[in-house]
Amino acid sequence: MTGTIIENLSGRKLSVLVTLLLLCQITCFLIGGLVAPMPANAQIILGTVCKDTLKVKNDTTKWFYNHGKGACDTVVLSDTFHDLSETDIVFSFRMPGVGMLDYSRWQQNLIGVLQVDVSYHSQMEVQPHSTITIDARLAYRNKDSSEYEWKLYTQSVEKRHLDCDIDIKAEGYQYKCNAIPLFELGSLFHDYYLLNIRLPVDTPDMNINIGHVQDMWLTVINQNGGFTKVWLSLKTVFFPCIIGILVWFWRRIHLLQRKPVLLEKMLLGLGIALCFLNMPIEYLTLHFDLPFMLLLGDIRQGVFYATLFSFWLVFAGEHMLIQNTTVQSSLKQYWRHLSAVAMGCISLFIFDMCERGVQLRNPFYSIWVTDIGTNLALTFIILAGISTCIYFLFLCYMVYQVFINISQKRQSLPTMCSVRRLHYEGIIYRFQFLMLATLLCAALTVVGFILGQVAEGQWKWDDNTELEYTSAFFTGVYGMWNIYIFALLVLYAPSHKHWPVPENTSDTQNLSEEIEFSPLPERSTSEISSLTSFIRKTTID
């Protein structure tokens, strides 16, 4: 029985391999910490209050901006509030702000969050849980067009909740209002964007309880172009490496005179999922407008998470060896574990489709605008965090059972000959190290998943939430996934090394004992490693 490379590789070669992988891991952290900028950038833009003097209000061909040819007439609402009607007021936001460079397609996406400044007036108090109706129009232009040639990107009339409170109810004092999620663009294809906002009063009860809106601030969040370049560089390097090791792994499997076992199939599926995640299709956004990239990115990451979490359950379960020893393992034995993972991933997919799926048609849509939607979104995020924590604890329990199981089997080692005992002791030490590395990888993955869910909604449910991601964590965890799976594909590939034929008679006798160690000939062509054979052997005895 040949076993796997992790069992038959010499200690010196294994040390070199582990050292190289650790150096690659450290390099990934250093690239994020020393080369890449922060993953996201936020810019706060004060809206220009423009006066609409046109007879036909809300003309879709007329855009309001505060500089260049055709700039609007600006007003200050605190001075002219009683002289203007709501239909004469337009809040204008140019993105990026005046004096800033144009957007780059490397920046990938754009999120807009609105902050409303409401001043206190005794006759116009803000009612609790009031609804603000926003008539929003988004336009774009590129560097090769004139400053006043804006083209319509999308428009929508949306309702948002406005929750405000005030410490001192005195004239001129400002309310403290919650941030309002406004729009999310899945691609940043154009150089400049222009947002025009009106507060319509088309019906008697529209926008009557929002008080005196004095100013509006727009916080725009986009991915840093420098971080995108570093991220895509890592993908460009890892993608062919994982494909190459997958081909090599599967070719070694097919050289054997047996069918692939469950763990080998799971490794293949995990490698394919990682290739799907590594595929640097973001390069297409540099030439094409692809607003579905955010949704596609979530789907790719969800597929990888589902496959990785499922693999860890099977990986630990296969080494617990509590299943029937006469029947080859199959996914049916893990249906309870895998159904829980599938349920969580499907729930997150449905939630994502309800948010970003609808935003493909209407970027101003948000599931957070209603109490039911907000509670549902928070429930999904909280349950996802709790589920991943429970999953990690359960995985730790399974790994603990694996260690207990192997410790019990090690009691039979002193009765073996020295060659056999040293062989299995080395295998056990290597396997224990690999399981500890698996737990570390799982812990960092769970932390990254939870922080990702929190960062996803921090601007949407609480404007006071401060969460700073470091690029080193992003690149480090991403590199860890690739390095860990690369190592598994190498170490769990079938080894073609055979035991040498000794010249000494006593050694020949020991070797014959070693070859005849497994009493089940039919298992010798189906086991993935001699470690599993060893434990199954002692279990049967």
Task: Report the CATH number that the domain containing residue 261 is assigned in CATH.
Answer: 1.20.1070
Please check whether residues 13 and 86 belong to one and the same domain.
Answer: no
The pLDDT of residue 56 is: 67
The pLDDT score that the predictor gives to residue 274 is 95
Which range (148-162, 283-297, 400-414, 490-504) has the least confidence? 490-504
Q: Residue 269 has what pLDDT?
A: 93
Number of domains in the chain: 2
Confidence of residue 412 (pLDDT cuts 50, 70, 90): low
Question: Is 170 in the same domain as 254?
Answer: no
For the cut 90, the answer to whether the pLDDT of residue 83 exceeds it is no
| Residue 514, pLDDT above cutoff 50 | no
Query: Looking at the predicted structure, is the pLDDT value of residue 406 above 80?
Result: no
Residue 529 located in a structural domain: no
My answer on whether 198 and 235 are in the same domain is no
Instruction: Return the top range by mean pLDDT from 8-12, 178-182, 450-454.
Output: 178-182
469 pLDDT band, cuts 50/70/90, is low
- CB neighbour class for 376 (10 Å; exposed up to 12, middle 13-18, buried from 19): middle
The pLDDT of residue 462 is above 90: no
Tell me what pLDDT residue 509 has.
43
Structural domain boundaries, residue 377: 5-39+226-501
Query: What mean pLDDT comes out for the span 337-350?
Result: 82
Crossing angle (nearest 10°) for helices 418-461 and 505-515: 40
Q: Is the per-residue pLDDT at 236 higher than 80?
A: yes
Quick one: pLDDT band at residue 254, thresholds 50, 70, 90? confident
**524 within a domain of the structure (yes/no):** no
For the segment 87-136, what is each residue's pLDDT rounded down to a tens digit? 788 899 999 876 667 899 999 899 999 999 888 887 788 888 888 899 99
∠ CA 60-64-66, nearest 5°, is 165
Same domain membership, residue 305 and residue 286: yes
Q: What is the pLDDT of residue 217?
A: 92
Residues 57 and 171 in one domain: yes
Residue 516 lies in a domain: no
**Comparison of pLDDT for 271 and 70, the residue scoring more:** 271
Q: What is the DSSP letter of 281?
A: G
The stretch 63-72 carries a mean pLDDT of 81
Same domain membership, residue 109 and residue 34: no
| pLDDT (0 to 100) of residue 528 | 55
How many whole angstroms separate alpha carbon 523 and alpha carbon 540? Answer: 13
Residues 117 and 256 placed together within one structural domain of the fold: no
In this prediction, residue 515 carries a pLDDT of: 36
The pTM for the full model equals 0.82
Nearest Cα to 462, choosing from 377, 402, 390, 380? Answer: 377
Among 167-181, 274-288, 419-433, 519-533, where is mean pLDDT lowest? 519-533
Q: Determine what percent of the chain falls in helix, strand and coil, rounding each to the nearest 5.
A: 55, 15, 30
Name the region of 54 (left: φ>0; alpha: ψ -120 to 50; beta: rest): beta
Q: Does position 487 have pLDDT exceeding 80, yes or no?
A: yes
- pLDDT range class, residue 445, cuts 50, 70, 90: confident
In-domain check, residue 104: yes
Which domain-ending residue is among 179, 203, 222? 222
535 is a domain residue: no
* Cβ contacts of 4 within 8 Å, gap of 6 or more: 491, 492, 493, 494, 495, 528, 529
Query: Are 235 and 302 members of one domain?
Result: yes
Query: Last residue of some domain: 173, 189, 222?
Result: 222
Shared-domain flag, residues 232 and 182: no
Q: What mean pLDDT do residues 326-345 have?
A: 75
Last-in-domain residue among 207, 222, 237 = 222
pLDDT of residue 457: 55
Give a yes or no: residue 30 inside a domain: yes
Q: Say yes or no to pLDDT of 530 above 70.
A: no
Among 124-138, 311-325, 352-366, the least confident range = 311-325
pLDDT at 58: 63
Q: State whether 134 and 245 are in the same domain.
A: no
| Mean pLDDT across 8-36 | 89
For the CA atoms of 274, 532, 327, 403, what is the dihedral angle to 10 degrees?
Answer: -80
Q: Which residue has the higher pLDDT, 73 or 245?
A: 245
**Residues 79/147/134/55 CA torsion (nearest 10 deg):** 70
The stretch 168-190 carries a mean pLDDT of 86
What's the confidence (pLDDT) of residue 531? 57
pLDDT at 194: 93
Q: How far is CA 476 from CA 24, 27, 31, 331, in A?
A: 10, 8, 8, 31
> Comparing 119 with 321, which gets the higher pLDDT?
119
Q: Is residue 321 in some structural domain?
A: yes
Mean pLDDT, the chain, whole residue set? 80
**Alpha helices, DSSP H only, in 353-417?**
358-359, 371-409
Amino acid at 390: I
pLDDT tier at 165, thresholds 50, 70, 90: confident
The two structure tokens encoding residue 275: 């290739």
Region 369-393: mean pLDDT is 80
More confident residue, 484 or 145: 484
Residue 443 pLDDT > 60, yes or no? yes
Bond preceding residue 96 cis, omega within 30 of 0: yes
- Please give the pLDDT value at position 525: 41
Same domain, yes or no: 190 and 96: yes
The mean-pLDDT minimum among 155-164, 213-222, 451-460, 462-471 falls in: 462-471
Per-residue pLDDT at 502 exceeds 60? no
Q: Is residue 261 part of a domain?
A: yes
Cβ–Cβ under 8 Å, residues 322 and 216: no
Lowest mean pLDDT across 1-5, 32-36, 453-457: 453-457
- Bridge partner list, 115: 217
Tell whether the model's pLDDT for residue 82 goes beyond 70: no
pLDDT at 321 over 60: no
- Whole-angstrom distance, CA of residue 534 vs CA of residue 541: 11
pLDDT at 271 over 50: yes
Both 195 and 247 in one domain: the answer is no
Q: How confident is the model at residue 485 (pLDDT cuts 50, 70, 90)?
A: very high
More confident site: 280 or 421: 280
